[in-house]
């Protein structure tokens, strides 16, 4: 699918332009005994209002096992999304990405001369967490980590998180590690492979339930660790 440069994008966001749009696909959640390994349905949208920042909204659904096929991580994101059916919302999150500076890579870096853009992010979820992140983006790769994680009195304990994003074969690949539930070390929690959606308002093909419809017709499940 051809990428069209977003209209009215602030110049500060040009290094992030490849993220803009809606991405849909599948992934894996797992966190030791706390979160048993499971496949999930995922959607991320990166949009803007003309200001020098992006807004990312992320939703993850558990699967209806009776209506979902087995997948492997070689399946393209959109193709995988058409083979699985969302059941209940597991987590949601809103994050703001703000570029705050740019520098050239080291002179001896033979791989790329693409400038490195520094990032500051703020994330929030409905289960009581606020994250302050720092990181960078260089070409179709980004890496961020929390500098602080605040939580409400009743929210689950999450002390640190890191995420990586990359554009691979036209798909958005991402991973998250975190330290939570009393663990001090960072441990893998989530990963995903998502394809860019050309017209997110249109129904999915092959009779798969639309995410919008599934979210409207099912109650919100007990959220996972990403949104606690």
CATH code for position 44: 2.40.128.20
Mean pLDDT is lowest, of 29-43, 48-62, 107-121, 200-214, for: 200-214
Evaluate whether residue 42 is within a structural domain: yes
Task: Look over the chain and give the mean of its residue pLDDT values, rounded to a whole number.
Answer: 87
Report d(CA 102, CA 87) in Å as an integer.
42
Given this model, what pLDDT does residue 212 score?
Answer: 45
Given this model, what pLDDT does residue 2 score?
Answer: 57
Evaluate whether residue 227 is within a structural domain: no
Evaluate whether residue 143 is within a structural domain: yes
Evaluate whether residue 217 is within a structural domain: no
With contact defined as beta carbons under 8 Å apart, do 50 and 103 qualify? no
Residue 108, pLDDT > 90, answer no
Evaluate whether residue 79 is within a structural domain: yes
CA 213 to each of CA 24, 33, 150, 206: distance values in angstroms, whole numbers, following the listed order = 15, 31, 32, 15
The more confident residue out of 48 and 223 is 48
Mean pLDDT is lowest, of 1-10, 141-150, 167-176, for: 1-10
Number of domains composing the chain: 1
Evaluate whether residue 36 is within a structural domain: yes
Evaluate whether residue 3 is within a structural domain: no
pLDDT bucket at 200, cuts 50 / 70 / 90: low
Residue 105, pLDDT > 90, answer no
Evaluate whether residue 2 is within a structural domain: no
Report d(CA 117, CA 18) in Å as an integer.
14
For 215, other C-beta atoms within 10 Å of its C-beta total: 16
Task: Find the mean pLDDT for residues 173-202.
Answer: 90
Whole-structure pTM value: 0.84
Task: Render pLDDT for 134-167 as a digit per residue (tens, 0 to 9).
Answer: 999 999 999 999 999 999 999 999 999 999 999 9
Which residues span the domain enclosing 127? 11-196
The tokens describing 192, both together, are: 């995903």
């Amino acid at each position: 699918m051809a990428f069209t440069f977003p209209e009215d994008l602030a110049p500060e966001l040009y290094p992030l332009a490849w993220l803009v749009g809606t991405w849909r696909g599948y992934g894996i959640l797992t966190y030791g005994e706390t979160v048993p390994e499971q496949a999930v349905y995922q959607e991320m949208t990166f949009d803007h209002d003309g200001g020098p920042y992006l807004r990312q909204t992320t939703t993850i659904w558990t699967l209806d096992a009776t209506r979902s096929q087995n997948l492997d991580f070689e399946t393209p994101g959109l193709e995988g999304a058409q083979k699985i059916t969302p059941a209940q919302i597991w987590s949601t999150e809103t994050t703001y990405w703000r570029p705050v500076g740019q520098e050239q890579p080291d002179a001896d870096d033979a791989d790329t001369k693409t400038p490195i853009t520094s990032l500051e992010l703020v994330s929030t979820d409905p289960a009581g967490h606020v994250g302050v992140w720092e990181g960078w983006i260089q070409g179709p790769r980004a890496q961020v980590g929390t500098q602080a994680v605040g939580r409400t009195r009743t929210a689950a304990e999450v002390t640190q998180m890191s995420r990586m994003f990359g554009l691979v074969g036209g798909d958005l690949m991402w991973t998250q590690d975190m330290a939570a539930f009393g663990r001090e070390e960072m441990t893998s929690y989530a990963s995903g492979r998502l394809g860019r959606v050309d017209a997110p308002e249109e129904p999915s093909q092959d009779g798969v339930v639309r995410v919008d419809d599934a979210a409207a017709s099912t109650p919100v499940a007990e959220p996972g660790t990403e949104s606690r």
